[in-house]
Structure 1
């Protein structure tokens, strides 16, 4: 049986993607050096929030996810970030390939709220692997990629922010029910407000909230 090992050697924001996309650079090693014709790989990526420290402002922003800091001993649990499939090309011994992960800036998604709350440092991620490898010299042998294969990754927070800024420069967005959106659109039309920003600021001003 071939022994497969994985390591994440880096992560970057894809500047040419149609939507927010992170690209993880993955090194795959087959030991002893074996011919791998192809590998159909499943990759689950988890956030491991307990593996880093948090400033007070970050802890406050994470309250809705994990509760008060006094509860973090039991509430700071791993979170699912992404699950992708990757076709690794033919190689002998070792190869590096890209794992593209399409992301969202929907603040209703727990992972997005987590990333948004962080000010600097790194995001502790864990990549979990399984799948099927086609190996052999002069023929094919089908081998499983064991379920216990994994690789840690420390993604800089600035990489996430760079990706978001490429697609949502200086802004963010929220998702609303259709009837609420229709009511907001009618409110904006009645008052001839030129933008959604002015619409929200007008509503906040009417509610006695300060806007900047």
Structure 2
């Protein structure tokens, strides 16, 4: 029976992927010195927001997710960020691998909204591992499951997330709209002779802030 342990060594921004991606450097150790032929590794990555402090600006940014500050003792709970998987090649003793974490800047995803609201500090992450271990058995290969309790904690600097998004969306953000809303926004832009989507949204926001003027679409 194998005894597999995991350690998160580092998390970095991957600058050359097709889409935003973080790269997790994982250390694996097998304490019985059994020969591992391969591992089909799965990982669930969760954010633990209750494990860090927040300044006033961050609290305001997180109000839509967790409510007012006096409710956080009930609402600030660990939540799922993403799933990832990879294949680990054979080793004996210890090895290191890269685990890709494909990310999105879609603000309909709770993880993106949470990370966008953070100004500095670290993001408390927990990596929960599962999968299939292939070893040498009595007759050919043996198969075991990664124990359900295998996990590793890591405090990722917020700056790593921001660096990754700067690689792919420099000085910009990203919003998803349904077809009807996009059509209305395009019509508003055309009717007011606006030259960009940023100018269109800015025009709408400025009109809404006028105290006695109704917004016309």
> What TM-score bracket applies, with the shorter chain setting the length?
over 0.9
Aligned equivalent of 1:154 = 155
**Which ranges of structure 1 fall in alignment gaps of 5 or more residues?**
none
Is 1:119 aligned with 2:119? Answer: yes
Once the two structures are superposed, residues 114-157 of structure 1 have per-residue CA deviations (whole angstroms, 9 ceiling, x without a partner) of: 10111111100000011111112894211111001000011110
Residue 209 of structure 1, CA deviation: 5.1
Give unpaired runs (5+ residues) of structure 2: 212-217
Per the normalisation by structure 2, the TM-score is 0.92
Offset of residue 41 of structure 1? 1.0
2:84 paired residue number: 84
Query: 2:20 — aligned with what?
Result: 20
Map of 2:144 onto structure 1: 143
1:62·1:114 contact (CA, 8 Å) conserved in 2? yes
Larger displacement relative to structure 2 (195-204 or 7-16): 195-204
CA–CA distance in 2 between the matches of 1:182 and 1:20?
Answer: 28
Q: What corresponds to 1:7 in structure 2?
A: 7
User: 2-side partners of 1:203 and 1:60: how far apart?
Assistant: 22
In 2: Cα distance, 1:136 partner to 1:182 partner:
60
- Equivalent-residue separation in structure 1 for 2:70 and 2:26 (angstroms): 37
CA displacement 1:37-62 (0-9 Å, x = unmatched): 10011100000111111111111111
Q: Which moved more, 1:188-197 or 1:143-152?
A: 188-197
Match status 1:97 vs 2:97: yes
Q: Which residue of the partner structure matches residue 61 of structure 2?
A: 61
CA distances 1:188-210 after superposition (whole Å, capped 9, x unpaired)? 22333211111122223333459
**SS at the partner of 2:147?**
strand
- In structure 1, how many angstroms separate the alpha carbons of the residues matched to 2:78 and 2:209? 39
Matching residue of 2:45: 45
| 2:214 paired residue number | none
Aligned residues: 210
Q: Is the 8 A contact 1:35 1:137 kept in 2?
A: no
TM-score of the aligned structures, taking structure 1 as reference length: 0.94
SS of alignment partner, residue 146 of structure 2: strand
Deviations 1:65-105 (A, max 9, x none): 11111111121100101111111111111111011011110
> Hey, what's the Cα distance between the residues in 2 that align with 1:207 and 1:120?
31
Instruction: Give distance in 2, aligned partners of 1:148 and 1:204.
Output: 49
Q: Deviations 1:9-40 (Å, cap 9, x if unpaired)? A: 00001000111101111111111112111001
Shifted more, 196-205 versus 156-165: the winner is: 196-205
SS at match of 2:176: coil
Deviant stretches of 4+, over 6 Å:
none
Q: Does residue 129 of the first structure (1) align with residue 129 of the second (2)?
A: yes
Change (3 A) 1:40 1:116: same
User: Which deviates further from its counterpart, 145-154 or 169-178?
Assistant: 169-178
